[in-house]
Amino acid sequence: MSRIVRRIIANSALFMAVILVLSGVSGYLLISHEPKTEHLLSETQKEFLENKEERQNKIESAEYGGEVTHVDGSAIAKARENYSSSVEEYGIGSVYIPASEISLPLLAGTSEENLLNGVATASAEKELGEGLFIGMSHNVINQRLLQNIDQAEKDDLVYLTDFTDVYTYRITEQTVVHETESSYLKEPEENETAKLLLYRCEGEYNTDWRRIVYGDYIKKEKISEVDKDILKGLMIDVEVINSTEKLESDTQEVSTVEYQTEEDSKNIFEQIQTKTTDIISQKNILTQLFLRVYALADSYTIFFFMLVFLLFVIYYSF
């Protein structure tokens, strides 16, 4: 075999090995990265304000009955690949817990992708501020979702919105319960205040335990009456509300306030990672490639690393 052919084979093997490694790492960064949600929810707000029945249509068309369990990397990658469509098709609001730094879309139904992309609603019949409202998500390593609810403390406030009103709940309990524990699923009596239950799984693979946050309903406010920082946490596009409903001048001021950007509170490494993943996520073909390579690496870990190792061996052998 000629030297040129050997060199071509070696360089090709090295190139493929590097591409596989970089793609896997990029896929991992993508699923760990907070996706840009504001513009997606902004479009949802416009839909709801133009058609009051659209929110209910999304709720009724969703699927319910999914379970909160651990999932593998391929499911996570697929969900992240379809993040935009999940929010567009099933987004009905958002959730904000300031003390736990949780800011997520509220998605109708408990499909696997909804559980991996936001806070999934457990029932089509439950409304915010009434009865027991239940939201849930998977507990995924390096992906926020409801992972930080273990930091929630009694009397912390939770805000939820349907893009018309903001509903405030006060946390009364944060604990770990067995999945068979049903007391938290009990509907409040007619003379009791409405309740909120948020939960995710807790523990190792196939765990039977659930981390829950339980709270009491406090009040409902029009978006125009809510503090600007809460609106930011709920990812509410005030300009959409203003342009559609022509709110009063005090709310107009909210839309012109320059908020501190997310990057301002991060260190340089986190800023670089955020910028990099933002750029990658804007390239749909690259995003799909990286997520699929990551899914392959996660599902067939030994095979993946053996393949990469073999490619490096070929490179050094030639």
CA atoms within 13 A on the CB side of 307: 16
CB neighbours of 186 closer than 8 A, spacing ≥ 6? Answer: 132
CB 140 within 8 A of CB 147: yes
CA atoms within 13 A on the CB side of 191: 0
Tokens representing 311 are 């490619």
Please indicate whether residue 138 is annotated as part of the active site: yes
In whole angstroms, what is the distance from residue 102 CA to residue 205 CA? 23
CB 143 within 8 A of CB 75: no
The amino acid at 130: E
The one catalytic residue among 33, 70, 178, 201 = 201
User: Which ranges of the chain does DSSP label H, i.e. alpha helix?
Assistant: 3-32, 38-50, 54-61, 73-81, 83-90, 112-117, 228-233, 238-245, 249-256, 268-281, 284-299, 301-317
Residues shown for the chain: 318
CB neighbours of 36 closer than 8 A, spacing ≥ 6? Answer: 278, 281
The one catalytic residue among 33, 39, 70, 138 = 138
Using a CB cutoff of 8 Å and minimum separation of 24, what contacts does 300-308 make?
Answer: 304/20, 304/24, 307/20, 308/17, 308/20, 308/21
Please indicate whether residue 178 is annotated as part of the active site: no
Which residues are tagged catalytic?
138, 201
